[in-house]
């Protein structure tokens, strides 16, 4: 197949491109490199079955050509990371909403299936757990930038489902929960790579808030396998699926594990949210996905434990010598 991946030089996109390339598909990625990196896909660049367009997905001329030439689209391009959400809300909203609108419009023009990657942020600050795909959303006020990302991705979902309902476009929506692994950086607030780098440099591990907030971390390989399988499953069309891991760990526990597994003498330093991000910043206390639906349809079962996940990130930074 001829596959188009938007955001294909990013953390998840590059792993997806790599796996699809292994399966002998022709891969074309589009990425403006605002958060993606050429280093992520440099091992693919010289393949005759791989090409990259360094361009914005808002460039309709380029996107029209790319969509017309592909068989399926994985739409991963988005502004992600809490720091971007807080510091560059205009770019977050425009990239997420206008970019997805462009992809869906052109996919509809050429009748191409689209796999949309959404986010666990959709659920907002609901205290109901685990989160099910049809749960209500609970958000803060529009005066808090924190909620712009969740709302922009919700518009993406509404638009995708509208194209499916009204114009019969084949779409599959996936809500990703804290995907981590090699190639992810802590540049935009991602917690695990930030902890690993701090530990390897013997710097304080900065835990925001009191550290009691819990998350479920899924290895990128598990997530990529689920994305590809859902894309190949006809009965997934028109539906929304949580993808991630359902084993929770507190951020403080995560910091302690990273410190132990790196044999680091780093201290753990608590930083108030007001200092880490902005005054009045709100975080979710708990975020656990209900995976019943995706397990039932495709037999999804995450293979990586939290220790294996942490080790893969540590090994990546040591092998690539990215902390020296």
Domains of the chain: 2-180+218-245+288-302 (3.40.50.720)
pLDDT surpasses 60 at 324: no
What is the model's pLDDT at position 108?
98
Q: Helix and strand tally (H, E) in the chain?
A: 11, 13
pLDDT digits (tens, 9 = 90+) for 143-200: 888 888 899 999 999 999 999 999 999 999 999 999 999 999 877 668 999 999 999 9
In degrees and rounded to multiples of 5, residue 151 shows phi and psi of -70, -40
Per the omega criterion (within 30 degrees of 0), is the bond before 256 cis?
A: no
pLDDT, tens only, 103-149: 999 999 999 999 999 999 999 999 888 999 999 999 999 988 888 88
Q: Among 283, 313, 25, which residue's Cα sits nearest to residue 184?
A: 313
**R_g over Cα of the chain:** 19
Give the number of other Cβ atoms within 10 Å of residue 17's Cβ.
28
Tokens of 188: 């935009």
Angstrom distances, CA of residue 257 to CA of 143, 195, 308, 321: 36, 10, 11, 21
Residues with a known catalytic role: 149
How much is the pLDDT for 284?
81
* Residue 143, C-beta contacts closer than 8 angstroms, at least 6 positions apart: none
Q: Is residue 323 very low, low, confident or very high in pLDDT (cuts 50, 70, 90)? A: low
Element (H, E) at 95: helix 89-110
- The model's pLDDT over 237-264, given as tens digits with 9 standing for 90+, comes to 999 999 999 999 999 999 999 999 999 9
Smallest CA-to-CA distance from 67 within 21, 23, 34, 114 is with 114
Is residue 280 pLDDT above 80, yes or no? Answer: no
CB 213 within 8 A of CB 107: no
Cα→Cα distances 33→54, 57, 78, 146, 263, Å:
7, 11, 11, 24, 34
Contact present, 35 and 59 (Cβ < 8 Å)? no
Q: Return the pLDDT at 321.
A: 66
Mean pLDDT of 208-231: 97
Q: What is the torsion angle, in degrees rounded to the nearest 10, for the CA atoms of residue 106, residue 107, residue 109 and residue 112?
A: 150
The predicted-structure confidence for 28-85, as pLDDT tens digits, reads as follows: 999 999 889 999 999 999 999 999 999 999 999 999 999 999 999 999 998 776 667 7
pTM for the full model? 0.95
Comparing CA positions, the residue from 265, 267, 247, 251 lying closest to residue 308 is 247
């Amino acid at each position: 197949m001829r596959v188009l991946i938007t955001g294909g030089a990013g953390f998840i996109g590059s792993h997806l491109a790599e796996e699809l390339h292994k399966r002998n598909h022709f891969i074309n990625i589009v990425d403006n490199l605002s958060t993606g990196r050429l280093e992520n896909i440099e091992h693919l660049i010289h393949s005759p079955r791989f090409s990259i367009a360094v361009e914005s997905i808002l460039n309709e001329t380029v996107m029209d050509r790319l969509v017309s030439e592909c068989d399926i689209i994985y739409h991963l391009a988005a502004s992600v990371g809490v720091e971007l959400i807080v510091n560059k809300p205009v770019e977050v909203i425009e990239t997420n909403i206008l970019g997805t609108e462009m992809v869906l419009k052109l996919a509809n023009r050429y009748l191409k299936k689209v796999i949309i990657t959404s986010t666990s942020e959709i659920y907002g600050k609901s205290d109901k757990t685990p989160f099910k795909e049809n749960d209500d959303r609970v958000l803060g006020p529009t005066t808090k930038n924190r909620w712009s990302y969740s709302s922009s991705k919700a518009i993406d979902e509404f638009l995708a489902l509208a194209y499916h309902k009204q114009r019969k476009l084949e779409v599959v929506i996936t809500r990703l929960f804290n995907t981590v692994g090699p190639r992810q950086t802590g540049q935009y607030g991602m917690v695990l790579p930030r902890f690993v780098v701090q530990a390897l440099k013997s710097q304080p591990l900065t835990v925001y808030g009191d550290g009691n907030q819990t998350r479920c971390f899924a290895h990128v390989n598990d997530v990529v396998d689920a994305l590809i399988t859902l894309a190949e499953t006809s009965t997934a069309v028109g539906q929304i699926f949580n993808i991630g891991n359902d084993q929770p760990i507190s951020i403080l526990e995560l910091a302690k594990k990273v410190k132990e597994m790196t044999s680091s003498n780093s201290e753990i330093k608590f930083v108030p949210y007001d200092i880490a991000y902005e005054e009045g910043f709100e975080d979710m206390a708990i975020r656990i996905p209900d995976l019943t639906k995706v397990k039932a349809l495709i037999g999804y079962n995450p293979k990586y434990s939290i220790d294996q996940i942490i080790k893969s990130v540590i090994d990546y930074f040591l092998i690539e010598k990215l902390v020296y």
